[in-house]
Amino acid sequence: MSAFRCSPVHIGEIAKAYFDPALTLNRYNLITHKELGETPREIARELARANIVSLKARYPENYNDFFFEDYDPFTYMLKCEQKTNGKRNVSLKDLYGMISCYTYQSCESSHWIEQDAYWIANHLQKSIAQKLIDPQMWEYTNETY
């Protein structure tokens, strides 16, 4: 697999969506039973941290030179936090795709499923899917196949 640094605006949009009142979310890490972040900035910080952990896991020898030549990881996390102001600017469909991209870029750690970022993305995608999928299509009943 591969990994890249998601942009601060990418992380910020996911963090903002996590607090969208139109989306019903479980707000717990189901492995640690810990409550997840209370603000968009905390969510953005956690998402950015997990992305950095993934980069370190995938490219242990040169992740810093390759992905942080413009600014250091701490500045990256701050930039992600700064992109959480206001309401989300993307559709639910686009947001679902952005989360899919984020999880692909951030899953390189051997402890990915234990990280809060995994559960933030997981809960958010499930909530978005419930909004996008017609509830009457949950069961296929056509017997003439």
Average pLDDT, the chain: 91
pLDDT score, position 62? 86
pLDDT in tens, 11-29: 999 999 999 988 877 899 9
Across 110-133, average pLDDT: 94
How does residue 70 score in pLDDT terms, banded at 50, 70 and 90?
A: confident
What helix, strand, coil percent values describe the chain, rounded to 5? 55, 0, 40
In this prediction, residue 138 carries a pLDDT of 64
Q: Which pLDDT score is estimated for 26? A: 86
Contact 32, 114 (CB under 8 A): yes
* Residue 67, CA distances (Å) to 4, 15, 58, 74 in order: 7, 21, 12, 13
Residue 4's pLDDT is 86
| pLDDT range class, residue 86, cuts 50, 70, 90 | very high
Q: What are the start-end ranges of the E strands in the chain?
A: none
**Residue 116 and residue 35: Cα distance in Å, rounded?**
9
Single pTM value for the model: 0.90
Predicted confidence (pLDDT) at residue 79 exceeds the cutoff of 60: yes
Phi, psi of 28 (to 5 degrees): -130, 150
